[in-house]
Chain A
């Protein structure tokens, strides 16, 4: 899906904290917008998409206060909605994949971070990304207490 693939590429290519943080910010914003756009498509997935959008805001807010987030907005946060009708399962799968990638990159960024504030921001954002991954994953019906 082109709307997500460009951000996925940016995330994969980011090899430093100043590169990862803006990419993560935009990735969270993309997840939020897409989740909002699909809230009403399937009633049974209403709660899943609503909560995913909320988790994306959590992650984006965590990144926003990271000291190493560059002030400029060269990457651009604009993420358009898919032009064609994309099945909800495909969107959910893409969001889960992006969430998984975000989790991985943000934990790695947390290890690279030189300051405690950056580490805390990355860790908090990584947790939000992990939550997105869990919310959107297909998964088996598990019986874990929640």
Chain B
């Protein structure tokens, strides 16, 4: 079966728990190894959140939505924790570490699992032409949906909580007496504080866990590539048929999505493929209706709840509307064609495999293990007790029909768009031999009349709606019955309103933070450390410290941007020989600008003392502030740096 994210998150949590059980009193070599592994692990955790495209801090979007605010806060706290651990690990690089200690091994394993889980998520996204992330699977909008994002945040907060408590122990028992370099001890303590902050960034988290649906979806996210094909074999028993239908449906969903992107140019985007899709959808729907009718009878025999029985009947009714709509499409393709230019042996990847779905669904519906759509293999419907001996079997059968219906619904939806494009592009024809004899057309195909093309498109709309309704009815049934396919239902519900996007994969396994990516050959100015100011004022409230860190982070971004702008401007405007600047001139000018521009702010922030005291070396020395290109009233944001420097 396809790997799912839960296969990685669960063991990662277990390894973190096991590592934390080691306690704080570790031998020095093991302590060194643990700090190095912690650095890697927290960086990986940070990357999960770096993948989310969140609104910029201090924007209305970031403050209006509590969930987004919580995501931003968690990300920032984790980034800070990682940034604290980097120097700690670097300070231990040349020292002997005991990498064989179980605690280090557990952390290493947790990191590997989390990294693999992140890789799994990345398989659902590609990088668009402009570098923007683009979902490439049906699961992509689910991954970025609010419930799944909330569940992911909760998972990372839970990991942070465990690590925070443990690292606090490690730093208490270690400190200066453990033989660690000062940078390592300090980094560990700071990381512990930030991990604790990350664990408690969501005020609602204390009162309300993320909904179970979000957690189930998160754990159930599959890898973004199809499972291997398993062609039907002879005489598959019911459980294997159900499992086979699930696999085939998953493969068809992938194929439909892939083929949809190719429908404007692929030679396989032809009437033969689309006709085959409609044919198989109609037969699958027909067999599925039989299965549901049989299951409804079995539910009555097993005395299942009236709700399940009613929903089985309702789903069967919905399918009884869906398959005739698919058949209507197939009938239209009897006479409409994509013409000689598109006639060939090329068929779509969906058409190449959809017979697997037909065979397995038919073999589940009919009392013939070798069933095929031949007259010779026709047989009566399978008996209800044979279809589902137990309630568990009934759930599995519901899941199989659910998957099959979901697949044909998605295939029909994709074909609806593709065929409409073909009609708009005048790529639909009729064989002239089928036209009345008074039509004198010398070629073998004549363009399909617009009314006929519109009729075909209308059939697709009808079928798309009907199959979607059938899939929705099965969504309800799957959830009520506790079918293994209920994840499909949750995914469909969650995919409706994505609030976050994802960054393209960086595929970077180094310890450098993934975001923001450092600009090449650009001076990275230091932002003012408002957080340090607050700490010096003995403010320890995590929320306030986090806001301070957010301010620092935003200042860092603005400074980086200003530096680039300034350098670009200088490179254009300034002559090659520049007048040497006196030491301290840039910051002094900058401070003057700020004083003139924002005296009120200075009243609260600037300390008493000469302006020359503001030259704390934080100004980017290669970025002149008073270059001729500055407009009147220019306010360099670097002033934030200088405000707090003397403190």
Q: In the complex, which of the residues B330, B331, B340, B376 contacts A141, with contact meaning CB atoms closer than 8 Å?
A: B376
Task: Name the residue of chain A whose CB is nearest to the CB of B442.
Answer: A71
With A60-B431, A77-B434, A146-B232 known as contacts, the answer to whether A45 contacts B334 (CB < 8 A) is no
Contacting residues, chain A, for B283 (C-beta < 8 A): 46-47, 50-51
Task: Name the residue of chain B whose CB is nearest to the CB of A25.
Answer: B433
Central interface residue in A36, A47, A143, by most chain B CB within 10 Å:
A47
Residue A98, interface by CB 8 Å? no
Q: In the complex, which of the residues A50, A73, A138 contacts B330, with contact meaning CB atoms closer than 8 Å?
A: A50
Residue B535, interface by CB 8 Å? no
With A135-B373, A135-B375, A141-B377 known as contacts, the answer to whether A50 contacts B433 (CB < 8 A) is no
Interface contact B279-A50, CB-CB below 8 Å: yes
Residue A145, interface by CB 8 Å? yes
Contacting residues, chain A, for B433 (C-beta < 8 A): 22, 25, 64, 69, 73, 77
Q: Place the interface of chain A in its size category.
A: 35 or more
With A46-B283, A48-B378 known as contacts, the answer to whether A57 contacts B444 (CB < 8 A) is no
Interface contact A134-B445, CB-CB below 8 Å: no
CA distance A26 to B370 in the complex (A): 33
Residues from 356 to 401 in B contacting A, C-beta threshold 8 Å: 358-359, 362, 366, 368, 370, 372-380
With A51-B283, A61-B272, A61-B337 known as contacts, the answer to whether A142 contacts B434 (CB < 8 A) is no
Interface contact A65-B340, CB-CB below 8 Å: yes
Interface contact A44-B378, CB-CB below 8 Å: yes
Interface contact A29-B434, CB-CB below 8 Å: yes
Interface readout for B300-338 with A: 1 if CB under 8 Å, 0 if not?
000000000000000000000000000100110110010
With A25-B433, A135-B374, A141-B368 known as contacts, the answer to whether A46 contacts B334 (CB < 8 A) is no
Interface contact B378-A54, CB-CB below 8 Å: no
Q: In the complex, which of the residues A44, A58, A96, A146 contacts B379, with contact meaning CB atoms closer than 8 Å?
A: A44
Task: Name the residue of chain A whose CB is nearest to the CB of B343.
Answer: A65
Contacting residues, chain A, for B362 (C-beta < 8 A): 47
Central interface residue in A48, A53, A64, by most chain B CB within 10 Å:
A64
Contacting residues, chain A, for B370 (C-beta < 8 A): 141-144, 146
Residue A7, interface by CB 8 Å? no
B629 to chain A, nearest CB (A): 69
Residue A90, interface by CB 8 Å? no
Q: In the complex, which of the residues B271, B272, B282, B359 contacts A50, with contact meaning CB atoms closer than 8 Å?
A: B282
Contacting residues, chain A, for B437 (C-beta < 8 A): 73, 76
Residue A92, interface by CB 8 Å? yes
Residue A23, interface by CB 8 Å? no
Residue B124, interface by CB 8 Å? no
B496 to chain A, nearest CB (A): 34
Q: In the complex, which of the residues A57, A92, A145 contacts B233, with contact meaning CB atoms closer than 8 Å?
A: A145
Contacting residues, chain A, for B359 (C-beta < 8 A): 146
Q: In the complex, which of the residues B286, B372, B431 contacts A146, with contact meaning CB atoms closer than 8 Å?
A: B372
Interface readout for A55-68 with B: 1 if CB under 8 Å, 0 if not?
00110111011000
Contacting residues, chain A, for B287 (C-beta < 8 A): 47
Task: Name the residue of chain B whose CB is nearest to the CB of A70.
Answer: B433
B482 to chain A, nearest CB (A): 30
Interface contact B444-A69, CB-CB below 8 Å: yes
Residues from 17 to 56 in A contacting B, C-beta threshold 8 Å: 22, 25, 29, 32, 36, 39, 42-48, 50-51, 53-54
B145 to chain A, nearest CB (A): 38
CA distance A77 to B335 in the complex (A): 12
Task: Name the residue of chain A whose CB is nearest to the CB of B370.
Answer: A143
CA distance A43 to B293 in the complex (A): 14
Interface contact B375-A92, CB-CB below 8 Å: yes
Contacting residues, chain A, for B377 (C-beta < 8 A): 141
Task: Name the residue of chain B whose CB is nearest to the CB of A143.
Answer: B370
Residue A94, interface by CB 8 Å? no
Contacting residues, chain B, for A137 (C-beta < 8 A): 374-376
Interface contact A54-B276, CB-CB below 8 Å: yes
CA distance A42 to B375 in the complex (A): 11
Residue B234, interface by CB 8 Å? yes
Contacting residues, chain B, for A62 (C-beta < 8 A): 343
Interface contact A47-B358, CB-CB below 8 Å: yes
B320 to chain A, nearest CB (A): 12
Q: In the complex, which of the residues B290, B334, B340, B379 contacts A64, with contact meaning CB atoms closer than 8 Å?
A: B340
Task: Name the residue of chain A whose CB is nearest to the CB of B378.
Answer: A44
CA distance A92 to B373 in the complex (A): 13
Contacting residues, chain A, for B372 (C-beta < 8 A): 146
With A54-B330, A69-B444 known as contacts, the answer to whether A142 contacts B279 (CB < 8 A) is no
CA distance A139 to B358 in the complex (A): 21
Contacting residues, chain B, for A58 (C-beta < 8 A): 272
Interface contact A138-B279, CB-CB below 8 Å: no
Q: In the complex, which of the residues A22, A29, A45, A76 contacts B378, with contact meaning CB atoms closer than 8 Å?
A: A45
Residue B69, interface by CB 8 Å? no
Residue B275, interface by CB 8 Å? yes
Contacting residues, chain B, for A71 (C-beta < 8 A): 442, 444
Interface contact B337-A142, CB-CB below 8 Å: no
Residues from 122 to 143 in A contacting B, C-beta threshold 8 Å: 134-143
Contacting residues, chain A, for B272 (C-beta < 8 A): 58, 61
Contacting residues, chain A, for B282 (C-beta < 8 A): 50
CA distance A44 to B373 in the complex (A): 9
Q: In the complex, which of the residues B233, B334, B374, B431 contacts A48, with contact meaning CB atoms closer than 8 Å?
A: B374
Contacting residues, chain A, for B234 (C-beta < 8 A): 143, 145
With A44-B366, A50-B283 known as contacts, the answer to whether A57 contacts B333 (CB < 8 A) is yes
A123 to chain B, nearest CB (A): 11
Interface readout for A73-94 with B: 1 if CB under 8 Å, 0 if not?
1001100000000000000100
Interface contact A142-B334, CB-CB below 8 Å: no
A99 to chain B, nearest CB (A): 11
9 examples of A-B residue contacts, CB within 8 angstroms: A42-B378, A43-B286, A64-B445, A65-B343, A141-B376, A141-B377, A142-B376, A145-B232, A146-B372
Given contacts A65-B340, A65-B444, 5 further A-B contacts (CB under 8 A): A61-B431, A64-B445, A141-B376, A145-B234, A146-B359
Tell me the A residues contacting B by CB distance below 8 Å: 22, 25, 29, 32, 36, 39, 42-48, 50-51, 53-54, 57-58, 60-62, 64-65, 69, 71, 73, 76-77, 92, 96, 134-146
Give the 6 A-B CB pairs with smallest separation, nearest first. Answer: A139-B376, A47-B373, A44-B378, A51-B373, A47-B283, A48-B375
